[in-house]
């Protein structure tokens, strides 16, 4: 007497073949096996077998097959919603790889304000001298692991210490009181530190909640000047340094800005340093960190050397005396 077949279907757990998913997406898009087979350059029976195999792999029907039409089941619709963006990302990545094959490229990670205020305005000079090198900038506040990420260089902003061990110092910073020329012409004169309280003061909204950002606050500047109890006309808060400077450029108030990031605006006259004798020293430093996996590539070295040269010019402009050095011995 033969044993009865098991009543419980054991679902397979191995990965689904990508070719089956391509066939499924084509049929789901056309809702027609013939049109899908023509697009995929396969026979209609081959596409039908791939769909059948996929349904067996998943364990449920993906299509309702009518005499003259095909209809997605609820499971098929669920799979299609997940599959479409995944295939789009896959195709986009493959296109990028094909386009970059054989090309020189450098990928940089940094934060948005530094990218927009310091790095991007200078990139044209590098591109003129190295027209064969493609540049990709990944602007994010998240620290990237250069040991594993698809990134060649990191530009970081932090205190000296273990977090930037092995990095090269680009420049330090001071904070300066700045405003647009026309705001200064239309308002009361600023001759001493207490006079800035007559204006709207622009500041980072998280300066008092984020580690180390209190060094950049107006409160600390006032305390340094012996004016702990001074209250300004009003406060204007932003999340990013480039927003603070943009607000100052458009005359919305007086900003306490980072000198390395506004040196160009001061040189052009778009911003005016109103109290040059009252700059505030910051312990924070701008660093260059080269990924160990790609440091040997000529294009990465070329971009690193160019960055160091640009940083030297910035140090000279803002009066940052220390020359570039390694922070390997900083703990």
Q: 170 and 30 share a domain?
A: no
Q: Are residues 74 and 175 in the same domain?
A: no
Q: Please report whether residue 122 resides in a domain.
A: yes
Are 319 and 224 members of one domain? yes
Number of domains in the chain: 2
* Beta strand spans in the chain (E): 63-65, 70-72, 104-110, 133-139, 153-158, 168-179, 200-204, 234-238, 254-258, 272-273, 280-290
Q: Rounded distance, CA 254 to CA 24, Å?
A: 60
**Among the listed residues 325, 321, 327, the one whose alpha carbon sits nearest the alpha carbon of residue 281:** 321
Q: In this structure, what CATH number is given to the domain that contains residue 31?
A: 1.10.10.10
Same domain for 273 and 173: yes
Nearest in space to 160 (alpha carbons), one of 108, 212, 116: 212
Q: What was the pLDDT predicted at 321?
A: 67
Residues 138 and 263 both lie in one domain? yes
Tokens describing residue 90? 């896959």
Q: Are residues 83 and 171 in the same domain?
A: no
Residue 5 belongs to a domain: no
**Residues making up the chain, counted from first to last:** 331
Does 25 fall in a domain? yes
CATH number at residue 175: 3.40.190.290
Distance of alpha carbon 150 from the chain centroid: 13
Decide which of 83, 100, 117 is a domain's last residue. Answer: 100
Assess if residue 162 is contained within a domain: yes
Give bridge partners of residue 107 from the DSSP assignment: 136
The pLDDT value given to residue 330: 40
Same domain assignment for residues 144 and 166: yes
Name the pTM for this structure. 0.68
Tell me the C-alpha distance between 259 and 175, whole Å.
6
- pLDDT number for residue 6: 40
Domain boundary among 100, 115, 150: 100
CA dihedral in degrees (114, 318, 320, 220; nearest 10)?
-70
From 85, 100, 115, give the residue that closes a domain.
Answer: 100
What per-residue confidence (pLDDT) applies to 229? 87
Residue 230 falls inside a structural domain: yes
Whether residues 179 and 68 share a domain: the answer is no
How many Å apart are CA 250 and CA 207, to the nearest integer? Answer: 22
- Nearest CA to 282 among 140, 171, 116? 171
Quick one: 88 and 111 in the same domain? Answer: no
Residues 282 and 252 in one domain: yes
In a domain, 32, yes or no: yes
Q: Which residue range is the domain that position 28 belongs to?
A: 18-100
Question: Does residue 9 lie within any of the structural domains?
Answer: no
One pLDDT digit (tens) per residue for the chain, 331 residues: 444 434 334 555 667 778 899 999 999 999 999 999 999 889 999 999 999 999 998 999 999 998 888 999 999 999 999 999 888 888 877 776 776 667 888 999 999 999 999 999 999 999 999 999 999 999 988 888 888 788 899 999 988 876 677 899 999 999 999 999 999 998 889 999 999 999 999 998 876 666 667 788 899 999 999 998 888 989 999 988 999 999 999 999 999 999 999 999 999 999 999 999 999 999 999 999 999 888 899 999 999 999 999 999 999 988 886 544 444 434 3
Same domain? 95 vs 116 = no
300 and 182 share one domain = yes
Residue 4 lies in a domain: no
């Amino acid at each position: 007497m033969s044993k009865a077949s098991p009543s419980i279907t054991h679902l397979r757990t191995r990965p689904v073949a990508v070719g089956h998913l391509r066939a499924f997406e084509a049929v789901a898009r056309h809702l027609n096996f013939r049109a899908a087979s023509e697009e995929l350059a396969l026979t209609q029976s081959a596409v039908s077998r791939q769909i059948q195999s996929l349904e067996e792999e998943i364990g449920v029907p993906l299509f309702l097959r009518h005499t003259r039409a095909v209809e997605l089941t609820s499971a098929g619709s669920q799979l299609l919603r997940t599959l479409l963006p995944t295939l789009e990302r896959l195709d986009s990545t493959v296109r990028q790889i094909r386009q970059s094959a054989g090309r020189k490229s450098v990928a940089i990670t940094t934060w948005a304000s530094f990218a927009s205020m310091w790095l991007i305005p200078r990139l044209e000079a590098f591109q003129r001298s190295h027209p064969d090198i493609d540049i990709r900038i990944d602007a994010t506040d998240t620290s990237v692991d250069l040991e594993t990420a698809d990134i060649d260089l990191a530009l970081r902003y932090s205190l000296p210490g273990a977090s930037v061990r092995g990095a090269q110092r680009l420049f330090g910073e001071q904070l300066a009181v700045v405003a647009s020329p026309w705001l200064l012409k239309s308002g009361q004169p600023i001759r001493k530190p207490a006079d800035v309280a007559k204006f709207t003061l622009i500041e980072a909204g998280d300066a008092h909640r984020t580690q180390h950002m209190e060094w950049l606050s107006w409160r600390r500047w006032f305390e340094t000047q012996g004016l702990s109890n001074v209250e300004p006309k009003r406060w204007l808060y932003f999340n990013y340094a480039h927003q603070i400077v943009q607000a100052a450029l458009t005359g919305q108030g007086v900003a306490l800005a980072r000198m390395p990031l506004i040196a160009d605006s001061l040189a052009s006259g778009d911003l005016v340093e109103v109290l040059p004798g009252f700059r505030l020293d910051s312990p924070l430093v701008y660093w260059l960190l080269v990924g160990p996996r790609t440091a040997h590539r000529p294009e990465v070295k070329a971009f690193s050397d160019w960055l160091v040269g640009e940083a030297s010019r910035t140090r000279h402009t803002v009066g940052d005396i220390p020359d570039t050095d390694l922070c390997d011995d900083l703990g």
